[in-house]
Structure 1
Amino acid sequence: MELFSFIFGACIGSFLNVLILKLPLGESLLSNKRSKCPSCGHLIYWYHNIPILSYVFLKAKCSYCGVKISFQYFLVESISAFLTLLLFLKIGLSSEFIFMCLLSYVLIVLSFIDLKYKAAPDYLLLIALFLSFFTTNSNLLDAFKNAFLFSGALVLLNFVITFYIQNIKAKILKDESLKTQEALGEGDIPIIAMMGVILGLSSGIFAIFLAAFFAIIPSIYSNIVKKDIQTPFIPYLVLGFYVEYFFNLETFIKAFY
């Protein structure tokens, strides 16, 4: 079952790559057209489209034109495979496992879309929040309470940091572009609410702290090297969520303090 869960996750990851590519462009998912190389247009046969393995054996290049294949395909398939395996090892085969897998696949799609477009589809955010209520060990009332607490706290935090950026930082740096910048995106709110529903209050706060920590270096790199003041935060929220979900670091740290 462990091997099956890994293979199943990798296959789902292949489909998630299609969603990441097509959903932001509004393209139909019901097309029966076979996969083609985006560079040369040659049909991709099934044995060149095996999740994870094809990328390795083809050495990340199209077998027909030799153009490099995006690392995203390998990365998404690998993340999906390992997440499915880890969830199976943690939960076992159950309804919670099914819902956590569905949630995980939605979060993967959201993360990679946010990385590319710095925005995420609202309907996927709502689906992620909806699925979280089927995976929590809290009762429904506590789950809603935590969701509202976390989302409300984020709105307040966004207001305070945005005020600082637009009114103080903009004057100090004399940068007019900062006067319209918002610290956090609205897409972060449902993800943080989801974290509160599943992790609870203390673990959820710790997961947000981890997310902020993980985002520090990429944010500095983006600001200095790419001159881009916007950093997509959903991928780091998701990373912080899973680190805390699987390793429960908050409880571990409490034992020492």
Structure 2
Amino acid sequence: MIPEMLLVALTGLLVGSFLNVVVHRVPRRESILYPASHCPACGHTLRPWENIPVLSWLWLRGRCRACGVVIPWRYPALEILAAVLALLVFWRLGWSARLPGALCFAWALLALTWIDLETQLLPDRITKPGILAGLLLNGLGLWWPGIALASPESALLGVLLGYGVLWLLAAGYFYFTQRPGMGGGDLKFLGMIGAWLGWQGMAMTLFIAAIVGGFVATLYLLLGKGRDYAIPFGPYLALGAALMLLWPQEILSAYLRFLGP
């Protein structure tokens, strides 16, 4: 088991390095393939030994080798989080046919969370292909049942309800307050979650996000941040989706027990 976990962790670190490129370039509408990894300050192209996840950052002491500018702590942090997330998914699913799809979904959640926290954007360049990828993965379940995270019908309904439910909530909030409550990115993000986890997973994701988001918003108000303080909703959706990916039956069972007989 230990060699397998090391392999999964190493894969997570490498993917995390790529996610750093995604997080930096996608909101800026830049290509994630060209040019090669480089220092944003001076343009220095990173050598292979300067691009080793975590270790290069430590070796360079968090600074560009060419110009000495500080390399943000986000780079090693995102790499480590991608590895930890990969280990969690592997721990829950093992070497199953669902593992590759679940890992891709989990890493997409991580990238979108970080982008939303930094820019308050959930880019279409990730959510729209994510919807198609989720529908395709679960559609393949018709011929390869072990690969799917939800049934094709549930995935399609998850997209329609995920986008539609948040649209109704956003429209209602705007009607009563004359202020936008959430952006279109949140709607597409929940639709993407529905495409991967199905309508039940999407519904529980929204429930978890609403509870956690409401709790955090209350804390912000108590701390005097004010009603106009912007709190991105994407990270709460990502948290709910990650929990439903890892512990779907346990969460559903707990929810049903909470509702009572």
- The answer, yes or no, to whether TM exceeds 0.5 is yes
Post-superposition Cα deviations, 1:182-204, rounded to whole Å, max 9, x if no partner, equal 11211112222233344444443
- Give the corresponding residue for 2:19: 16
Question: CA–CA distance in 2 between the matches of 1:137 and 1:101?
Answer: 11
Q: 2:205 aligned with 1:207, yes or no? A: yes
Deviations 1:88-117 (A, max 9, x none): 232334543222222333332222222222
**For residue 104 of structure 1, what is the amino acid of its counterpart?**
A
1:174 is matched with: none
Match of 1:186 among 175, 184, 193: 184
2:231 corresponds to? 231
Amino acid at match of 1:243: L
Indicate the residue corresponding to 1:108 in structure 2: 110
Task: Using structure 2 for the length normalisation, give the TM-score.
Answer: 0.77
Size of the aligned set, in residue pairs, is 242
Structure 2 gap segments, 5+ residues each? 139-147
Distance 1:204 1:45, change over 3 A: same
Aligned equivalent of 1:176 = none
Partner of 1:71: 73
Q: CA deviation at 1:214?
A: 3.0
Task: Look up the match of 1:35.
Answer: 38
- In the alignment, the residues of structure 2 paired with residue 148 and residue 28 of structure 1 have an alpha-carbon distance, to the nearest angstrom, of 30
Identical residues among aligned pairs (%): 29
- Rounded to whole Å, the distance in 1 between the matches of 2:225 and 2:213 is 15
8 Å Cα contact 1:20/1:109 also seen in 2: yes
- Distance in 2, Cα, partners of 1:82 & 1:230: 29
Counterparts of 1:18 and 1:196, CA distance in 2: 26
How far apart in 2 are the matches of 1:98 and 1:192?
Answer: 21
Unmatched tracts of structure 1, length 5 or more: 167-180
Check the 8 A contact 2:134/2:155 in 1, yes or no: no
| Residues 123/64 of structure 1: CA separation in 2 closer, same or farther (3 Å cut) | closer
The alignment partner of 2:173 has SS state of helix
- 1:202–1:250: 8 Å Cα contact kept in structure 2? no
Do structure 1's residue 139 and structure 2's residue 151 form an aligned pair? yes
SS at match of 1:187: helix
Q: Is the 8 A contact 1:62 1:68 kept in 2?
A: yes
SS of the residue corresponding to residue 98 of structure 2 reads helix
TM-score with structure 1 length normalisation? Answer: 0.78
